[in-house]
Amino acid sequence: MVSWRRLGRGLAMALLAIVTAAPAPLTQAWDAQGVGPLEGLSAEGVDHYTLALTWHPGFCESRSRPPRECREPALREGADRGFVLHGLWPSLPERFADRGVDRRRWWQKGCFLETPRPEGSFCRAHPPLALSAALGRHLDAVMPGRASCLDRYQYAKHAACLALPEQAYVAAAVALVEAVNESAFGAFVTLQQGREVSRNALIDAFEAAFGEDTGRALRLECRGRGRRLLTEVRIGISAERLADFPAAESLVRQDRGRCATRVRIATFD
């Protein structure tokens, strides 16, 4: 259970109020995107997905050459609502493993193992994803990196070779990030903008939101000196239980991240 004393009384009470509010079922959010639960999203031979969510201010601060989504104020507004979408990554598919591909190589290359990555910008090399207008607007709101065609890159690397339809894949990712931001964990991190918190406090907040002993499903990614700047979180979700998220039974263990014991939650000035 969460260590409320560690969070401070004021923050603990705010988080407790959020915890007691039951989150909306993911299937409702999914249907709002116009795609039924798991419709066309069953990737054969995939054990789980990793939901990669960027803490946008931390990501931008960590970049020596910030991309467009860090430079333009309109593309930084999503930080006020919580995490933004990096990607939804299927685990090593069986058919790739049967060919001798290991996890490390799959994470590095993904679908580019079969279809080599094109030269130059993805904005030029790949056409826009075939999304409905409504889903495109939702994606714009949760993925500022779309300004740099991150959505096209993510689909080409992680989904194209697995016959995952573009509309269903993106709808799932959008519903998942919205579920996290609406949770007590998303609210806790948003409240910490401009502060430093302990790594354990982040894990405690995750367990308060998603269930006791679920902390191993969370991987924290940090950069900067001493790895103290939070840039991303990654959440392991069972492929068979994707529509059950954020139920504790839908989560799967991940490797530990490499953040310091104290973590800074950056904010945009």
Interaxial angle between packed helices 199-210 and 9-19, expressed in degrees from 0 to 180 and rounded to the nearest 10: 30
pLDDT at 39 (0 to 100): 47
Q: In the beta sheet, which residues pair with residue 90?
A: 49
pLDDT digits (tens, 9 = 90+) for 165-210: 999 999 999 999 999 999 999 999 999 999 999 999 999 999 999 9
Percent of the chain with pLDDT over 70: 84
**Mapped to the 3 state alphabet, what secondary structure does 82-100 carry?**
CCEEEEEEECCCHHHHCCC
Q: In the beta sheet, which residues pair with residue 49?
A: 90, 237
Whole-angstrom distance, CA of residue 71 vs CA of residue 157? 25
Whole-angstrom distance, CA of residue 194 vs CA of residue 192? 6
pLDDT at 38 over 50: no
pLDDT digits (tens, 9 = 90+) for 55-113: 999 999 999 999 999 999 888 876 678 999 999 999 999 999 999 999 999 999 999 99
Tokens of 55: 């803490």
pLDDT digits (tens, 9 = 90+) for 208-264: 999 999 999 999 999 999 999 999 999 999 999 998 999 999 999 999 899 999 999
pLDDT category, 28, cuts 50, 70, 90? low
For residue 132, the one-letter residue type is S
pLDDT at 254 (0 to 100): 94
pLDDT digits (tens, 9 = 90+) for 253-268: 999 899 999 999 999 9
Task: Give the count of beta carbons closer than 10 Å to the beta carbon of residue 240.
Answer: 13
Residue 209 C-alpha from the chain's centroid: 16
Whole-angstrom distance, CA of residue 193 vs CA of residue 189? 7
Whole-angstrom distance, CA of residue 190 vs CA of residue 186? 6
* CA within 13 Å, CB half, 254: 24
Residue 56 DSSP symbol:
H
